[in-house]
Amino acid sequence: MPRGHRCCHGPPRSCRRCPARSRLTPRETEVLRLLAKGMSNTEIGTAIFFGEATVKTHVDRILAKPQLRDRVQAVVWAYQTGLVQPGE
């Protein structure tokens, strides 16, 4: 298993049973994918027609579910769990 992977259910790309990943709502998943593309809260809000405060709320919830400390960890976690693929 890759070092730093937060789930014990298999390799990152097959990690469909990861509890934290499965608890993300579809909207949180969408926000995380945009976050992984390097978008700011303002850019994410524009892309999905949300205000910046609403995006911040989603980011806070994304960080809380898998107990991540910042946006960088969230992006790494998204790649490690296979939620985001390089080049998407």
The pTM score is: 0.76
Q: Is the pLDDT of residue 86 over 60?
A: yes
Of 5-9, 23-27, 36-40, give the lowest mean pLDDT range. Answer: 5-9
Q: What digits encode the pLDDT tens for the residues 54-82?
A: 999 999 999 998 889 999 999 999 998 88
* Contact call for residues 45 and 55 (beta carbons, < 8 A): yes
> Comparing C-alpha atoms, which of 36, 44, 40 is closest to residue 83?
36
Burial call 55-68: b when 16+ CB within 10 Å, e when fewer? beebbeebbebbeb
Residue 82 · residue 13 · CB < 8 Å: yes
> Domains of the chain by range and CATH?
22-80 (1.10.10.10)
Q: What amino acid occupies position 47?
A: A
